[in-house]
Amino acid sequence: MTSRGRRRHLDDTGITLIELLVSVVLLGVVAAMVSSLFLSATRTLSQAQSLTGNTREASNGMNEISRVIRAATENPVSGQALNDPAFSSPLTAPLTGESVTLYAYVNLTSAAQQPVKIRLALDSSRRLVETVWPATLLSPGFYGFTTTVPTSTRIMAGTVAPQATGGPALFTYLLSDGTPLPVPATGTFTVAQLRTIAAVSVNLTLQPSATNSQSAVTLQNTVGMPNLPLTRTGP
C-alpha cells in the first residue's frame, strides 16, 4: 500500500515550474517569429503596392509628357520672316530643367484647328502640372495667346524627386547632334537658342513624397519633334 500510494502521489505532481517557464519562453519565441513574419510580409506587400502604383503613374505621366512634347510646333507671326520657335519661356518662371513651355496642336477635333500654348512645370508640392492657354485668331493663319486665364490645368504626375547632384534634370534640351543645350544662368534662352532645340530628354522619377524615396520609379525617354524643321543626327 505504501508503494502504491507513493506512485499515485508522483503521478499527481503535474508539470514543474521549470517546465512551465520553458513552455512560456518557447511560446514567446514562436509568437515573436510569427509576428516578425507577419510584419515583414505586410511591409513587403505595402512596398510592392507602392512600387506598382508609382510605376503605373510614372508610365502614364511619361506617355502624356511625350505626347505633348512630340506635338511641339512653331508659331507663325504676321509680318515676321521667321516663325516664333516652338519653345518659349513660361509666363511666370524661366525655362529651366523643371519646366518647359511650347506651342502645339494637341487633341484638337475642330475642323478649324487652333494651336495651344502648354506649360509642363512642377508646383510647390513637386507635382508635374500641365497648364494650357487658348489661342486667339488674329488673322487667317495667325494666332495670339492669352496671358491670364488658362483653358485647363491638370496634374500629370505625382511627387517628382528632386534632381540628384550631378544627375539629369527633369527636362534636358538637346541639339540636333544629341548634345545638351545648357540652361543659361538667367534661366532664359535666347530666341536663336530656342530654335536649335531638336529634342527633349525627359528623366522622370516619382516617389511617395518629397522626403520619402522608397519605391521610387525612374523612367527616361528622349522625345523628338517631327513638326520642327530640324533633323536629329545624334543619339
Adjacent-strand bridge partners of 171: 202
Nearest alpha carbon to residue 153 among 177, 193, 182, 117: 117
Matching residue, cell 495667346: 145
Q: Which H/E stretch holds residue 135?
A: strand 135-139
pTM of the complete model? 0.73
Nearest alpha carbon to residue 56 among 158, 201, 200, 202: 158
Query: What is the model's pLDDT at position 91?
Result: 46
Query: What is the model's pLDDT at position 106?
Result: 67
Nearest alpha carbon to residue 227 among 186, 201, 207, 197: 197
Matching residue, cell 536663336: 192
Grid cell of 135 as nine digits? 489661342
* Helices and strands (DSSP H and E) totals, the chain: 3, 10
Burial of 148 (0-12, 13-18, 19+ CB in 10 A): exposed
d(CA 155, CA 8): 81
Chain-centroid distance of CA 26 in Å reads 49
Nearest alpha carbon to residue 76 among 17, 145, 30, 123: 145
User: Across the 235 residues of the chain, what is the mean pLDDT of every consecutive 10-residue run?
Assistant: 53 69 82 80 69 80 90 87 81 66 71 78 88 85 77 84 83 90 77 89 86 82 87 70
Nearest alpha carbon to residue 47 among 219, 214, 217: 214
Q: Which long-range contacts (CB under 8 A, 24 or more apart) does 134-139 make?
A: 138/78, 139/78
